[in-house]
Structure 1
Amino acid sequence: MADIEYSDQGTRHRNSTGTRVLGWIAMVIAATCLLPMMAVVLAAVTGGTDTVSHLLSTVLPRYATTTLILVLLVAAGTFCIGVGAAWLVTMTRFPGARVMEIALVLPLAFPAYVLAYAYTFVLDHPGIVQSTLRDVMGWGPRDYWFPEVRSTEGAAVMLILVLYPYVYLLARAAFLQQSATAFLAARSLGSNPFVAFWKVSLPMARPAIAGGVLLAVMETIADFGTVAYFGVQTFATGIYTSWFTMADRAAAAQLALCLLGAALMLAVAERTQRGKSKYHQAGRRHAALPSAQLRGFAAFGAFVLCAIPVVLGFALPVFILFQMGLESEQNLLSRRYIGFIQNSLTLASIAAVVTVCAAICVGFFQRLKPGRQSMSAVYISRLGYAVPGGVIAVGLMVPFANFDNLLDGWMRASFGVSTGLLVTGSIWLLVAAYMVRFLSAALSAYEGGQSMVHPNMDAAARSLGKTPMGTLRRVHLPILTPSLLTALLIVFVDVMKELPATLIMRPFNYDTLAVQAFRLASDERLEGAAVPSLVILAVGLLPVILICRQVGRGH
């Protein structure tokens, strides 16, 4: 009995130690996610009022107005296209509907700035469209009006075409999960299908639709590549300009604080509306919503309406980029491009592994020890999805640059040795920024898989003498493998596409495919920018293919 008691005490001690260590790791991860936001607030507050006054009298009203216009346009556009397409493929049947329900997801693979490069090449003044118009009509450069692609409206169109799948996926899932009971009751009271949809189905799907629109809006305020290339002055471009062109860190921090406040307000709004909006199925038995068979002109119109965003958001840009790439002098097999590819793959691979490991630590700690501490760690870890990459970059660069300067000064004074930029000059701070930005996506995938692990499995593993870490390794991870692979892939692709944080934080002479594409496009070498853009697109198709498979299975 003494031996058994000693063994039980040893097991309890190991369990307690493992849980405590895991708790410390989760707290460190949460603190890392909170650090850039706190650093931005501190840098903005201590930056002095002169910079604030200058910003208020010069650029801040323009940044705020342009950002607001862009947000409103993208919100309206993604709502109309996403909800309309979801309603057509869910509530109607027409030739090609099964193809369209999957193809409508494909534009999600495109970064908005890549779409901007493709359409500028075709629609700008020297592009093939305007050149052909001038040749055919005999017009001079000022004899006609043509929509300006490099404008706020043009940037909004690019963002709408790549962000509407967020609304489409969530709206379609909400429609598929609805029972037909309420819809049929409205039909029996004399409402036509459109009125029944508008008054019954759409309100019931409102939480999901609002969540999708808010995701699109948060991606809009975080976008840098599209607005910078089009010359649209928003908070995102202002942060980059203040940091690099004006070398004014206080101004960059204060602009970042404005953007951070807007992003957090949107995140709180999304959480609030999702938490308060609750709908229950009318009736005990679930019945799928009835689909109307369309024929003739109505079927053709439905197909065309669904095909337009697919053609404009995926098929046409891919064709344009291939044509641009064939005309360029860029060689993917050259040593320089192999270096870009290696840098991109290295950063994406390391960031994906670090982020998924962080998600496992935070998520498993919440399962082991549910309570205020673990819930706080999870909530703080999720804040990164609402924080633009430029804000995270400024928030991490400011404190660690000060740390590097203080350490270098102390080493020079004490030992006559210069340490240089130990932290800010390495890729590890950039990896930390990626982890903060994309930890929420990895955590969502991990928690989705963890819901499949019944608590009785934990109890059974404990009864067999397994420690918490042993339970994670032998029970959880084998079951969670598909979810973890999905999380790895999502973070990998997001890092490949990420631009503002990479531009600000990358080590000297350490460029990625996204940076190379942006640099070439900024120099108006659009044909050259097409080559790295196509590689980014090819990688971005991987998670979209997975999503399309899930869409097909869901049907």
Structure 2
Amino acid sequence: MTEASHTPDYAPKGSRLGRKAGTRVFAVLGWVVALACVLPMLAVALAGMVGGTDTIAHLAGTVLPRYLITTVVLVVLVSLGTLLLGVGAAWLVTMTRFPGVRLFEVALVLPLAFPAYVLAYAYTFVLDHPGIVQTTLRQVTGWGPRDYWFPEIRSPGGAAVMLIFVLYPYVYLLARAAFLQQSAGAFLAARALGKSAWEAFWRVSLPMARPAIASGVLLAVMETIADFGTVSYFGVQTFATGIYTSWFSLADRAGAAQLALCLLSFALMLAVVERSTRGKARYHQAGKHHAEMPPADLTGLRAVAAWVLCAIPVVLGFVLPVVILCNMGLQSEQDLFSRRYIGFIQNSLLLASTAAVITVLAAVILGFYQRLRPGRSSALAAYMSRLGYAVPGGVIAVGLMVPFAAFDNALDAWMRATFDIRTGLLITGSIWLLVAAYMVRFLAAALGAYESGQSTVHANMDAAARSLGQSPLGMLRRVHLPILTPSLLTALLIVFVDVMKELPATLIMRPFNYDTLAVQAYRLASDERLEGAAVPSLVIMAVGLLPVILICRQVGRRR
């Protein structure tokens, strides 16, 4: 017998009872994690409904149409931009050969290291009215401020461009993987029937890769609706900025909850679409003995055009921003080694490392629960835990603040009435509630990394461990975790970097006077001190390069 489920159980009866108890423990813990992940969504839905129709009617007559239109415009622009850049670059580096193609295979992933708001700070410094580009233009031409037209960087279009440059790698990576897995048979058959290379790509290769491309675009769209730093700095009013404004500037908790409910509905709809699209993505994958697509050699003007097309997103999305930020940082008066900045770095590292450990621990519990008891119950728990990746950080923040603020206030009122003791806010505004928000937001990424590693652990290993009397915890500790160490380290790194870059939930939920590098960069940029904002932004970018380097190594090996 090769399957664990058919392997005889030679363990003593006591060991079998211990295994059942251990399995129940993992089941309970798995469902605790799953329910914790859906709590913010349930709280937002309940708070939005309790707010009444007057609040939503007021929002519908004032800000809601503007938020909706701007969000839809951003979604459309980012979808088109990431689609064209990602698919075009993936096709060129996969199916053609030109000077520098091996370098571009890896370099096209580098913009993932940047949060979009950092890119926004860099380009605003250069392209805004007092920036070097417009200043040089006025000096050369002698024009005044009103004598010429220049594209406005602080606009929905400018925000869309920033998001496109940092999000197109999602589409690029998935499209490239899909193109690599395609067999050459269908493409060559189309060419044999008289179709040009462009027609064969449009009618054969692109439809076969469509599910993977759609998944990449939907990932970019979900990041777009979750973005706060870029749209807030550019003054673009979306649902994400509206939630923050309602919560802090207007102190309208009901309005913030109902805006969060609108955004949550949109995000969950996209998550369902992405899930169904990903499920259909299997049909285009070829078998083991498929013929590889022969790449076409480009020469002359075609090679130059391919080189330029691949260089544009790399230069504009990574090289130029790094140069600009370094120049800005050198001109600033910010001292990265001052006591104040050391505090920002310590706060960021503490939050990121704590959240990474807790999130990966939750992923291990869920993944091992699925391994011990495969079925609808464990699959449902894992699915509920993955919903957080589609929910913007601002929505999660509101969903956690509303119930725990009510609990803290109720506890404080009871303690004063009963014992004349003021407890204050025990949970709200604490680091642990912020860490919980990070876990909900990024658990899907950690769970995906853990499950990819767990698939390499054969079921016979579990059967052997059980026959030797190992409990579920012992099997996890002595068999699974040593094998899964690389996957766990990858999951830790991914969550660590995501927390370092996260902004909206941190702004809303951080304890008083507890600032991170992302918050410091946002604050300095909001005060138009862009040179100062470059210093924490560079640190965030440098940390963001760590998982990108891992991805680049994997991309370089796949051919």
- What range describes the TM-score normalised by the shorter chain of this pair? over 0.9
Q: How far does the alpha carbon of each residue in 1:90-148 deviate from its partner, in whole angstroms, 9 at most, with x for none?
A: 01000000000100000000000000000000000000000010111000110000000
SS in structure 2 of the partner of residue 214 of structure 1: helix
Is 1:505 paired with 2:509?
Answer: yes
1:161–1:284 Cα change, 3 Å? closer
Q: 2:395 aligns with which of 374, 384, 391?
A: 391
Partner residue of 1:456 out of 436, 452, 460: 460
**Structure 1 match to 2:492:** 488
Q: Aligned equivalents of 1:266 and 1:280: distance in 2?
A: 22
**TM superposition shift of 1:414:** 1.2
Tell me what 2:558 maps to: 554
Give the deviation of 1:195 after TM superposition: 1.0
Number of the residue aligned with 1:108: 112
Please list, as runs of the form range in 1=range in 2, the aligned pairs for 1:204-223 lying within 5 A after superposition. Answer: 204-223=208-227
- C-alpha deviations, 1:437-478, integer Å up to 9, x for none? 000000000000011011111001111111111111111111
Q: Displacement of 1:151 after TM fit?
A: 0.0
Measured in 2, the distance between the counterparts of 1:97 and 1:6 equals: 57
Shift of the alpha carbon at 1:370?
A: 1.0
The match for 1:13 among 17, 20, 29 is: 17
Question: 2 CA distance for matches of 1:203 and 1:486?
Answer: 32
AA matched with 1:511: D
TM-score (norm: length of structure 2): 0.97
Question: Deviation string for 1:220-242 (max 9, x for gaps)?
Answer: 00000000000000000000000
CA distance in 2, matches of 1:30, 1:552: 36
CA contact (8 A) 1:347 1:431 kept: yes
Q: Unpaired segments of 5 or more residues in structure 1?
A: none
Q: 1:319 aligns with which of 320, 323, 332?
A: 323
Which one is further off, 467-476 or 385-394?
467-476
Are the counterparts in 1 of residues 517 and 537 from structure 2 also a CA contact under 8 Å? yes
Aligned match for 1:162, one of 163, 166, 170: 166
1:403 aligns with 2:407: yes
Structure 1 distance, partners of 2:365, 2:10, is: 29
What is the deviation of 1:282? 7.1
Change over 3 Å in CA distance of 1:47–1:300 after alignment to 2: same
1:355 maps onto 2:359 in alignment: yes
Q: 1: distance between equivalents of 2:288 and 2:10?
A: 54
* Contact map agreement 2:246 2:255 (CA 8 A) in 1: yes
- Contact between 2:10 and 2:467, CA under 8 Å: does it hold in 1? no
Write out aligned runs for 1:21-420 (5 A): 21-280=25-284, 285-420=289-424
Deviates more, 1:44-53 or 1:107-116: 44-53
Q: Is the 8 A contact 2:182 2:284 kept in 1?
A: no
Q: After TM superposition, give the deviation of residue 16 of structure 1 in Å.
A: 1.0
Where 1:205 maps in the other structure, the secondary structure is helix
Q: Residues of 1 paired with 2:466 and 2:281: CA distance?
A: 39
- Stretch of structure 1 that moved more, 271-280 or 200-209: 271-280
Q: For 2:188 and 2:304, locate their aligned partners in 1 and report how far apart those are by CA, in whole Å.
A: 26
Q: 1:275 Cα shift?
A: 2.2
Query: Under a length normalisation based on structure 1, what TM-score does the superposition of the two structures give?
Result: 0.98
Alpha-carbon separation, structure 2, partners of 1:223 and 1:35: 22
CA distance in 1, matches of 2:10, 2:391: 50
- Output the aligned Cα RMSD: 1.2
SS in structure 1 at match of 2:447:
helix
Helix, strand or coil at the partner of 1:148: coil
Q: How far is 1:193 from its partner?
A: 1.3
Query: Alpha-carbon deviation of 1:6?
Result: 13
**Does the 8 A contact of 1:182 with 1:282 survive in 2?**
no
Residues 282, 316 of structure 1: CA spacing in aligned structure 2 closer, same or farther, 3 A cutoff?
closer
Q: CA deviation at 1:272?
A: 1.5
Q: Aligned in 2, Cα 1:262/1:281: closer, same or farther, shift over 3 Å?
A: closer
Tell me which of 430, 447, 452 is aligned to 2:434: 430
Amino acid at match of 1:267: A
**What amino acid maps onto 2:114 in structure 1?**
F
Find the aligned partners of 2:46 and 2:387 in 1 and give their Cα distance: 18
- Runs of 4 or more, structure 1, over 4 Å off, are 280-284
Contact 1:181 1:283 in 2 (8 A): no
Change in CA separation of 1:105 and 1:7 when aligned onto 2, cut-off 3 Å: closer
One-letter amino acid of the structure 2 residue matched with residue 70 of structure 1 = L
Q: String of CA shifts for 1:370-401, please: whole Å, max 9, x gaps.
A: 12211111000000000000000000000000
* Alpha-carbon contact 2:239-2:263 (below 8 Å) kept: yes
Question: Structure 1 residues 81, 541: CA separation in 2 closer, same or farther (over 3 Å shift)?
Answer: same
Q: CA deviation at 1:285?
A: 2.3
Aligned residues of 2:11 and 2:469 also touching (Cα < 8 A): no
Q: Deviations for 1:298-339, whole angstroms, at most 9, x for unmatched residues?
A: 111100100000000000000000000000000011110000
User: Matches of 1:152 and 1:363 in 2, distance apart?
Assistant: 40
8 Å CA contact 1:108–1:165 kept in 2: the answer is yes
% identical equivalent positions: 77
The whole-number CA distance in structure 2 between the counterparts of 1:500 and 1:30 is 23
The letter of the residue matching 1:494 is: D
Q: 2:292, 2:472 → 1: CA distance?
A: 42
Residue identity in the other structure for 1:36: P
| Structure 1 position 473 matched with structure 2 position 480 | no
In structure 2, the gaps of 5 or more residues are 1-8
* Aligned residue pair count: 551
CA contact (8 A) 1:450 1:476 kept: yes
Alpha-carbon separation, structure 2, partners of 1:351 and 1:553:
31
Whether the aligned pair in 2 keeps the contact of 1:490 and 1:543 (CA below 8 Å) is yes
TM superposition shift of 1:9: 2.2
C-alpha contact (below 8 Å) 1:124/1:148 kept by paired residues: yes
Q: Take 1:115 and 1:467, find their aligned partners in 2: how far apart are those partners?
A: 50
CA distance in 1: counterparts of 2:482 and 2:185, whole angstroms: 40
Q: What corresponds to 2:5 in structure 1?
A: none
Q: In structure 2, what is the Cα distance between the partners aligned to 1:371 and 1:296? A: 58
1:58-77 deviation per Cα after TM superposition (whole angstroms, max 9, x unaligned): 00000000000000000000
Q: 1:501, CA displacement in angstroms?
A: 0.2
8 A Cα contact 1:183 1:196, kept in partner: yes
8 Å Cα contact 1:37/1:395 also seen in 2: yes
| Structure 1 residue matching 2:397: 3-state secondary structure | helix
